[in-house]
Amino acid sequence: MAYVILDRDGVINEDSADYIKSPEEWRPIPGSLEAIARLTRQGYKIVVITNQSGIARGLFNHATMEAMHDKMRQLAEAAGGKIEDIFVCPHAPKDACGCRKPQTGLFEAFARKHAVDLNGVLAVGDSFRDIEAALAVGARPILVKTGKGAQTLARNPLPDIPICANLDEAARYILANR
């Protein structure tokens, strides 16, 4: 079974410098839910791997995050897609944990839980730390320009990484290059 790993904020939903702190603030990027549905219909399993330091910063709690994830799953299902699993780092950067991207702990937890070899697994992100984590485990990263993607690209030339306008374009790229 083929998997596609997605970052959350800036890839699936609109991002905010003030953090996404509630289900009401969680708004999908146009075309992202349809992209998840397209990948699902073509046999891909979708997994979300996301840093959520807003928990450590006291901006929201685990229950609120779960409510945001319930909304994301329900909207993806209503569009015809399915999110198989979600892996979250709730720590702040100062915590120096092993799960906060660019560290690889969440990727490794996903691989263990689902018995997946990460080599070659597609991983879509909007930040340099998403790309770094994917490369560190042998996954194949794709950068989207939504969220922090345009800023990431301006600061970090990524000559060997596919660059897509958004998740919809990334899904089309994935399906055209299977």
| CATH code where residue 153 lies | 3.40.50.1000
Q: How many domains does the chain have?
A: 1
Q: At a CB cut-off of 8 Å and minimum separation 6, what does 106 contact?
A: 49, 87, 88, 89, 99, 133
Concerning whether 117 is annotated as a catalytic residue, the answer is no
Cβ pair 151, 10 in contact under 8 A:
no
Residue 55 lies in domain: 2-112+144-176
In the block, which residue shows the tokens 């909207």? 75
> What pLDDT does residue 70 have?
98
Concerning whether 95 is annotated as a catalytic residue, the answer is no
**Across the 178 residues of the chain, what is the mean pLDDT of every consecutive 10-residue run?**
95 96 98 98 98 97 98 98 98 95 98 97 98 98 98 92 98 96
Q: Is residue 24 part of a domain?
A: yes
Q: Is residue 132 part of a domain?
A: no
> What pLDDT does residue 157 have?
86
Q: Is residue 77 part of a domain?
A: yes
> What pLDDT does residue 45 have?
98
Catalytic residue (choose from 7, 126, 130, 168): 7
Distance between CA 161 and CA 178 in Å, rounded? 16
Q: Is residue 22 part of a domain?
A: yes
Q: Is residue 128 part of a domain?
A: no
Q: Is residue 64 part of a domain?
A: yes
